[in-house]
RNA sequence: CGGAGUGUAGCGCAGUCUGGUAGCGCACCUGCUUCGGGAGCAGGGGGUCGGAGGUUCGAAUCCUCUCACUCCGACCA
């Protein structure tokens, strides 16, 4: 299509039918975001050597696989491969929040200082808060969290106890000016976080809201292939009465952890419950909280020894990927967040806040799932499901067989990254192992003589010869 | 914020002590030969040596200031 026609189409409202004539919408537009990709057209600057600024394995691998690029300390650009993973993780978080009855909103990154002065945290937050002045010299800040703002939003929209309970969340970039950012996206200054806020009329209802989030977190992390152990946590500067951290076990974790070996036997994937069934939810939470699990901050050696038999005393390290708090009225009172009760009297709402470090999870998953060759993506968060390797670009039979499978996978909606670049086999294998797609389909003249492709599982390393016409079926069954 | 260190090509590094006009590996480009676990040969492109000031005939190298980044500690999704 010529530029001229395009411009006409865009600019000329006099011809309303032109656009649809030029761009007939025939069934293909479904909202499906799956995009097949040829490596020859992709942007994936992979590195052979570890960049020297990276210390831990996830940081090294993310840089080597071309997922991110550092712009400043704790501040990253997300390149196509990394961004796909980030989006997949974000979507799982979103789906599980929605399922638990939370409502998605989106608050701005920049907030006015007044709200924070009202809660008393403007001064308390200290230098971690990035403070900005606008052109009118008004004090603003780049939000490190959103309790103040969400409470204000809620207050303005809800007056009656009949409007409770409510749970509002958003997934938004935060900025905390950490003294020492490190470990890549695991401890950045700018980071993507899901934060949810619950509002309830009574202590009991608030507890149920907390429990629902607790369960949704178990499900969220399980879907990403992670076992995140809930541990009783300090409420820290944010304050509140009840709090749990969710930690992914990984040798490189920042916190030392002590926990009951029974957690290893528990099946996170079986976390299934009716969120409206208060007792069932409480019981499920109880089954996780009744076992000993604590970070080094909260660890009580005597209690550990009393409650856990010696062979089951597990110690290790963990990465905090989620943190939930029940506040009671700690924030609602100073901020005047009240509703009118059935008796006509105002009552401060019971609130809680619930965070998941979405961008941190990208690093956390790599920490928990990699080997010497590179990343091993769990299927649910993999940037592509299948890496299709043409071992001999230019060979007519190889080119044809690859293209056929590529298009067939594409037609079936399987995320596929097609390595159609020229190059030796070794480099292709190394690159594909590095970026860690769950499955590799390897096609070259040797196998084609017998009409077969090789299907390799990245995690187990298992290879299998599969007849060419069976390959696509392997990923669509 | 205390302590330690590093800035030289896209990435990893040498050269700095002892000043003389910038080099190696990988990556990239061209050609030929290769081609199932990071190939070979030949040719080629790319760096105002983090920045500013100073010393000197001459500075990546010496001096002063500055900026950035990394690591260890105290703090955090």
Mean pLDDT for chain A?
89
Rounded Cα gap, residues A321 and A55, in angstroms: 20
pLDDT band per the 50, 70, 90 thresholds, residue A427: very high
Residue A182 CB lies within 7 Å of the nucleic strand B: yes
Helix then strand then coil, % of chain A, to nearest 5 = 40, 25, 35
Judged against a pLDDT cut of 50, whether residue A13 lies above it is answered with no
Q: Which two tokens stand for residue A194?
A: 């899901």
pLDDT band per the 50, 70, 90 thresholds, residue A196: very high
Under a CB-based contact definition with an 8 Å cutoff, are residues A199 and A349 in contact? Answer: yes
Q: What is the mean pLDDT of residues A400-410?
A: 95
Nucleotide nearest to A322 in CA–C1' terms: B77
The rounded percent of chain A whose pLDDT value lies above 90 is: 74
Rounded Cα gap, residues A274 and A282, in angstroms: 11
Would you call A274 helix, strand, or coil by DSSP? coil
Q: Which residue has the higher pLDDT, A335 or A63?
A: A63
Rounded Cα gap, residues A127 and A125, in angstroms: 7
Judged against a pLDDT cut of 50, whether residue A286 lies above it is answered with yes
ipTM of the complex: 0.94
Which pLDDT score, from 0 to 100, does residue A11 have? 41
- Residue A436, number of CB atoms within 10 A of its CB: 26
Q: What is the mean pLDDT of residues A328-345?
A: 90
Say what angle helices A358-368 and A80-99 make with each other, to 10 degrees. Answer: 110
Residue A451 CB lies within 7 Å of the nucleic strand B: no
Residue with token string 């935060």: A174
Residue A254 CB lies within 7 Å of the nucleic strand B: yes
Q: What is the mean pLDDT of residues A448-466?
A: 97
Residues 357-386 of A with CB under 7 A from strand B: 357, 359-360, 373
Residue A178 CB lies within 7 Å of the nucleic strand B: yes
Give the CA A435 to C1' B13 distance in Å: 25
Q: What is the mean pLDDT of residues A113-123?
A: 89
Strand A416-419 and strand A37-38: pairing? parallel
Residue with token string 């969290």: A145
Nucleotide nearest to A145 in CA–C1' terms: B77
pLDDT band per the 50, 70, 90 thresholds, residue A203: very high
Q: Model's pTM, two decimal places?
A: 0.92
Which pLDDT score, from 0 to 100, does residue A449 have? 95
Sequence-distant (6+) residues with CB within 8 A of A84 are: A383, A384
Nucleotide nearest to A320 in CA–C1' terms: B77
Judged against a pLDDT cut of 70, whether residue A20 lies above it is answered with no
Which pLDDT score, from 0 to 100, does residue A27 have? 43
- Ramachandran area for residue A209 (φ above 0: left; ψ -120 to 50: alpha; else beta): alpha
Sequence-distant (6+) residues with CB within 8 A of A427 are: none
Residues 110-169 of A with CB under 7 A from strand B: none
pLDDT for A46-100, tens place per residue? 999 999 888 899 999 999 999 999 999 999 999 999 999 999 999 999 999 999 9
Judged against a pLDDT cut of 70, whether residue A1 lies above it is answered with no
Judged against a pLDDT cut of 90, whether residue A24 lies above it is answered with no
Give the CA A11 to C1' B22 distance in Å: 55
Residue A176 CB lies within 7 Å of the nucleic strand B: yes
Under a CB-based contact definition with an 8 Å cutoff, are residues A468 and A417 in contact? Answer: no
Judged against a pLDDT cut of 80, whether residue A35 lies above it is answered with no
Sequence-distant (6+) residues with CB within 8 A of A184 are: A54, A56, A58, A59, A62, A63, A68, A70, A76, A363
Residue A317 CB lies within 7 Å of the nucleic strand B: no
Range with lowest mean pLDDT among A10-14, A275-279, A406-410, A458-462: A10-14
For the sheet with A439-443, list strands across it.
Answer: A37-38, A416-419, A386-390, A439-443, A452-457, A463-467
pLDDT for A134-171, tens place per residue? 999 999 999 999 999 999 999 999 999 999 999 999 99
Which pLDDT score, from 0 to 100, does residue A119 have? 84
Residue A394 CB lies within 7 Å of the nucleic strand B: yes
Q: Which two tokens stand for residue A214?
A: 């607790």
Judged against a pLDDT cut of 90, whether residue A298 lies above it is answered with no
* CA-wise closest residue to A472 among A412, A422, A383, A387: A412
Under a CB-based contact definition with an 8 Å cutoff, are residues A317 and A253 in contact? Answer: yes
Angle at A200 between CA A199 and CA A201, to 5 degrees: 140
Which pLDDT score, from 0 to 100, does residue A34 have? 52
Give the CA A415 to C1' B14 distance in Å: 44
CA dihedral of residues A45, A51, A54, A56 (deg, nearest 10): 80
Judged against a pLDDT cut of 70, whether residue A199 lies above it is answered with yes
pLDDT for A300-331, tens place per residue? 888 999 999 999 999 988 999 999 999 888 88
Judged against a pLDDT cut of 50, whether residue A242 lies above it is answered with yes
Q: What is the mean pLDDT of residues A396-410?
A: 95
Rounded Cα gap, residues A244 and A235, in angstroms: 8
Residue A321 CB lies within 7 Å of the nucleic strand B: yes
């Amino acid at each position: 299509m010529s530029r001229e026609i395009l411009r006409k189409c865009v600019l000329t409202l006099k011809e309303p039918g032109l656009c649809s004539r030029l761009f007939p919408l025939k069934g293909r537009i479904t909202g499906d975001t799956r995009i097949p990709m040829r490596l020859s057209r992709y942007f994936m600057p992979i590195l052979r050597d570890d960049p020297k600024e990276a210390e831990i394995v996830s940081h090294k691998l993310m840089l080597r696989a071309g997922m991110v690029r550092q712009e400043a300390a704790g501040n990253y650009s997300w390149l196509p491969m990394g961004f796909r993973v980030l989006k997949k993780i974000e979507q799982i978080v979103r789906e599980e929040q929605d399922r638990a009855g939370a409502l998605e909103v989106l608050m701005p990154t920049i907030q006015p200082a007044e709200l924070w002065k009202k809660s008393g945290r403007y001064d308390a937050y200290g230098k971690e808060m990035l403070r900005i002045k606008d052109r009118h010299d008004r004090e603003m800040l780049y939000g490190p969290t959103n309790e103040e703002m969400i409470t204000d939003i809620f207050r303005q929209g809800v007056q009656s106890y009949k409007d409770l309970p409510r749970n509002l969340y958003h997934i938004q970039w935060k900025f905390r000016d950490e003294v020492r950012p490190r470990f890549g996206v695991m401890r950045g200054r700018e980071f993507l976080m899901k934060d949810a806020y619950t509002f309830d009329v009574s202590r009991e209802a608030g507890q149920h809201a907390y429990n629902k989030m607790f369960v949704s977190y178990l499900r969220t992390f399980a879907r990403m292939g992670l076992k995140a152990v809930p541990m009783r946590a300090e409420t820290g500067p944010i304050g509140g009465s009840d709090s749990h951290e969710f930690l992914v076990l990984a040798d490189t974790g920042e916190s030392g952890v002590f926990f009951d070996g029974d957690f290893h036997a528990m099946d996170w994937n079986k976390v299934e419950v009716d969120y409206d069934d208060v007792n069932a939810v409480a019981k499920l939470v109880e089954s996780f909280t009744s076992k000993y699990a604590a970070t080094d901050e909260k660890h009580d050696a005597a209690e550990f020894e009393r409650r856990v038999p010696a062979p089951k005393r597990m110690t290790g390290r963990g990465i905090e990927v989620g943190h939930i708090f029940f506040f009671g009225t700690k924030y609602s009172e100073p901020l005047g967040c009240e509703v009118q009760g059935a008796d006509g009297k105002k009552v401060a709402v019971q609130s809680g806040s619930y965070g998941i470090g979405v961008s941190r999870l990208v690093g956390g998953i790599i920490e928990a799932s990699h080997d010497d060759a590179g990343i091993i993506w769990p299927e649910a968060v993999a940037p592509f499901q299948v890496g299709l390797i043409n071992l001999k670009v230019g060979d007519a039979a190889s080119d044809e067989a690859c293209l056929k499978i590529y298009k067939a996978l594409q037609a079936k909606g399987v995320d596929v990254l097609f390595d159609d670049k020229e190059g030796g086999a070794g480099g292709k294998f190394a690159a594909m192992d590095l970026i860690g797609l769950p499955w590799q389909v390897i096609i070259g003249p040797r196998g084609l003589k017998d009409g077969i492709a090789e299907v390799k599982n990245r995690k187990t390393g298992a290879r299998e010869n599969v007849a060419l016409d069976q390959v696509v079926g392997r990923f669509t069954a």
